[in-house]
Amino acid sequence: MKLILGGVCAAKGFRANGIRCGIRPSHTDKDLALVVSDVMCNAAAVYTTNLVKGAPIAITKENIADGKAQAIIVNSGNANTCNADGPEIARKMCQLTADALELKAGDIVIGSTGVIGQPLSIAPIENGMAELVKGLRYDGNEDAVEAIMTTDTRKKEAAVEFELDGHVCRIGGMAKGSGMIHPNMATTLIFITTDAAISSEMLQKALDADVKTSFNMLSIDGDTSTNDTLAILANGLAGNPEITAEGDAFDIFKEALHAVTSDLCRKMAADGEGATKMLECRVTHAPDEKSAQIVAKSVICSSLLKAAMFGADANWGRVLCAIGYAGVPLDVERIEVRFESAKGNILVCENGAGVPFSEEKAKEILLENEIYILIDLHQGEASATAWGCDLTYDYVKINGDYRT
């Protein structure tokens, strides 16, 4: 298995494009993306757990109820959420896409991201559809990922190549998200494609399992979005025997999928709104996996710790504090904490108590843009990883006037 380029176009038979159609007239950024497979795909998805859901989620659920889809249409700049005509607009987007591609509207996955509660006009999307379809390319992934960005400052793509029963397969994906990101997924908008042959049932099973250790372990600001969608299309063009049950091939597929999703998690964490640092919390030797996950998420979600990391302050007590209120019964007197980055590794807590360490060395470590918070509970064999970012002044500035 190896990392490759190509994002959602890395897998055989997928084309993509992204354009500016003018959803936000005052902006010049691309705002409409399209991903299309040459053939029908098996499809699966997971969605936000927020009770308030964007209209595109309901329409996507309807469209892939049969486990099939062939294209993904996504707009940025408007979430199409809490609008009376939201479902109607979402269906029109699917129909416009289907007509332009000579497909059925029920074979389209749809996503929207942006401001909540603002009516979405179908006119710019209708006017831009011909250009969007005309520009579809097998290397159009970068245009597509750019078109789904809102407050993102960088593109987020990942892809891997691997083998199944002697056949070379690929999985690739693109994601958007800098804020309103918190566990219980999906998280933001993520679209994944693969040329591996796998049934929609096993695709859903792989996705459901993966999000527990990928996107559900990512938190930027504690807010769970209304439009979170993670969808995956598998067109089978790699030619491997279709995966229809658990076994070695399914395990390899899940490993490849996680390589893509975890890479996207890291990139999303690094691009959190206003962030200057990616934080990765690794919990080891926990009593069980659930306990490890709860502890890792509690630490990565701590606003006090996030602020300390912004200031390169080795305030390890905030790590212990977050562990303590996580709700997991633990022997605190066995806990060890280290901070690590490209500048080195430093022990700051042992047996639940502070140890002498160089504040100067700690600051040097924490001034890097990728920080690892290493927690050894010394109470079992389970482990978990969570991702987040520091909390900065710019986060408030970005969200103080996001709508206006």
Catalytic residue positions?
187
Phi, psi of 380 (to 5 degrees): 155, -165
Region for 43 from its dihedrals, namely left if φ exceeds 0, alpha if ψ lies in -120 to 50, beta otherwise: beta
- Nearest CA to 53 out of 33, 90, 81 is that of 81
Comparing CA positions, the residue from 180, 184, 191, 178 lying closest to residue 151 is 178
CA distance 362 to 355: 13
Contacts of 350 (CB under 8 A, 6+ apart): 336
Q: For residue 16, how many other CB atoms are within 10 A of its CB?
A: 28
- C-alpha 176, offset from chain centre: 7
Secondary structure (3-state) at 269: helix
CB–CB of 148/176 below 8 Å?
yes
Round to whole Å and give the CA distance between 124 and 113.
Answer: 16
Q: How many helices (H) and strands (E) does the chain have?
A: 11, 15
How far is Cα 137 from Cα 35, in angstroms, rounded to an integer?
9
Bridge partners (DSSP) of residue 370 are 278
- Rounded to 5 degrees, φ, ψ at 191 are -125, 125
Q: Strands 14-19 and 370-376, how do they pair?
A: unpaired
Opening angle at CA 16, ends 12 and 18, nearest 5: 165
